[in-house]
Amino acid sequence: MRAFLVVVTLIVMAIAAPRVAAQKVELSIDASKPGAKIDRNLFGQFAEHLGHGIYDGIWVGSDSTIPNTRGIRNDVVTALKAIHVPNVRWPGGCFADGYHWRDGIGPQRVVRLNPDWGGVIESNTFGTHEFMDFIDQIGSEAYVSVNLGSGSPQEAADWLEYMTAAQATTLEKERAANWHPAPYKVAWLGLGNESWDCGGNMTPEYYLDRMKSFSHFVRNYNPAQTEKNQMLKIAVGPGGGEQRWTDWTETVMKAYQQHTWSWDINGLSMHSYTVVKWPPAFKSVGFGEDEYAQIIKTTLDMDDLIKKHSAIMDKYDPQKKVALVVDEWGSWYAPLPGSNLGFLVQQNSMRDAVLAALNLNIFARHADRVRGANIAQMINVLQAMILTDHEKMVLTPTYYVYKMYVPFQDSTFVPVTFDAGSYKHGDFTLPRIDAMAAKSKDGKVWVEITNVDPHQPAEVELNVSGINAKSASGETLTAPKVDSVNTFEAPNTVVPKPISARAQGGKLILQLEPKSVTVVSVEQ
Ligand code: AHR
């Protein structure tokens, strides 16, 4: 009898419970007006010698019991192949400006300490050949950052010759003796990292002098990269929006405008983490709506930051030859309790999925200037795609956003208009909805819609002009709570599920859950 009463009470409560009405949103897409190309390199990754980002995350060694190919984890490779990683930035970060490439080649590696990240032993077991093997296994390209801080132009020039020479130079022969006769492709070259801080605390003028010299002497000799597919050189750029950073952009871009044949750059890097304040204090798991709203509000500042630096770049490079490359971005929270503080270990929640989608959409809207971005960092560090613990591996909510966004790689931006509405929490007022659309190479229209509101569902009415839209389907990512995470024990708490639109009166209607990221393709 008692059980019966409980069931009846529950049914009555469910019927009487206030249903949160779906917010109606009209979204218009003009598929006949394609804009800039959304470069696949906006979906780049960053892997630094930091914590368990490389060792354990990628590299376990060939004698490990963890299934591997020449020392590189098979599970991680399979997962990364599925998100079509366009490039991986390596070996840092701050680590790059203390890295000496000779330590990491040949049978005898030089063992050092990693002073930037926890002062731990750096075995250099993972060096140039292992990185290139990894890149090859996941089907990606190399973005190598050379040591402009403590190294010399000659050291960097030798590294590039070692990696890329096809003719029988001493360095080419040394590479061949290390089992790689064919030259490697280096798609991107970072000329230092944060040279205004951990990269050597330089003034913009001093950096510029050094950078010009590196730009001239560090050459790529790969015959496949001399005419077409030339290596892109990325100079250090700003790390924020204050005058110190606008001065930096001014100095580098003004010099670029007058550059001669003897030096050149193809990109200016920008670093911007979502952190609210230093040192990072926000929890990555076990937080509430206050922290959700504040982090999302802060992450949206990326748009203004890009506008600010793009405006300076436009003055000196109106043809937009130099790309703005946001090669470090993502959430940076307090280290997980009990972890090594220098390893930057954090969990990854539904909030990070929303944050990732909002930033990727911002980059896409600036695709004419922003042609590269690398989330920090790929595995086990900061806003990671993948977390590992010995033989265990789990894919994060951010990983799934990257997977859902694969169709946007090298697609063409299509304008979307909508009334975002607002989500209010305490002192925070944020746009409730964000959206982005693009046409993939096969002519398909893809639409992404983020519902930032953690409580209210949204009913989206899609009007697609320029094509005869009949239906739309794809995937949606949501979770029970904003701080829901995937763990080794419960890996499927935040995973995408199928979604499709219902056709109604010539329009397509999509029902979006609160705090969700959705990607659909429109069928004609
Ligand atoms: O991603 C962690 C660190 O953040 C990088 O090494 C450095 O470039 C930045 O300050």
Task: Give the C-alpha separation, 45 to 25, whole Å.
Answer: 33
Q: What is the pLDDT of residue 19?
A: 54
- How far is it, in rounded angstroms, from Cα 215 to Cα 229? 17
Taking the C-alpha atoms of residue 327 and residue 425, their distance in angstroms, rounded to an integer, is: 31
Q: 48 in ligand 1 pocket by Cβ < 6 Å?
A: yes
Upper half-sphere CA count for residue 307 (Cβ side, 13 Å): 7
Q: How far apart are CA 196 and CA 231, in angstroms?
A: 24
* Contact between residue 40 and residue 410 where contact means Cβ atoms under 8 Å apart: yes
The SS3 assignment for 403 reads: helix
Alpha helices by DSSP H, listed for 199-346, are 204-217, 243-257, 289-299, 301-316
Preceding amide of 377 cis, omega within 30:
yes
User: Is 94's C-beta closer than 6 angstroms to any atom of ligand 1?
Assistant: yes
Distance 150 CA to ligand 1 centre (A): 17
Ligand 1 mean position to 522 CA, how many Å?
39
From the number of C-beta atoms within 10 Å of its C-beta (0-12, 13-18, 19+), residue 462 rates as buried
Please name the residues in contact with 119: beta carbons below 8 A apart, sequence gap of 6 or more: 113, 342
Catalytic choice (194, 250, 291, 513): 194
| CA 35 – CA 22 distance, rounded (Å) | 31
Rg (CA), the chain: 24
How far is residue 327's CA from residue 237's CA, in Å, rounded to a whole number?
10
193 contacts 145 by C-beta, under 8 angstroms: yes
Q: Is the CB–ligand 1 distance for residue 93 below 6 Å?
A: yes
Q: What is the mean pLDDT of each run of 10 residues along the chain (524 residues)?
A: 45 48 91 91 98 98 98 98 98 98 98 96 98 98 98 98 98 98 98 98 98 98 95 98 98 98 98 96 97 98 98 98 98 97 98 98 98 98 98 98 98 95 96 97 94 97 87 97 98 98 88 98 91
The verdict on whether 328 is a catalytic residue reads yes
Residues in Cβ contact with 403 at an 8 Å cutoff, skipping those fewer than 6 apart: 82, 83, 496
* Spatial strand order in the sheet of 458-465: 416-418, 23-30, 458-465, 507-512, 502-504
pLDDT at 466: 76
Task: Indicate the DSSP class of residue 407.
Answer: G
The residue whose C-alpha atom lies closest to atom 2 belonging to ligand 1 is 93
Annotated catalytic, 194? yes
pLDDT of residue 22: 86
Among 54, 90, 97, 271, name the best residue to mutate to test ligand 1's pocket (greatest count of ligand atoms within 8 A of Cβ): 271
Atom of ligand 1 nearest to the CA of 344: 2
From atom 6 of ligand 1, which residue's Cα is the shortest distance away? Answer: 93
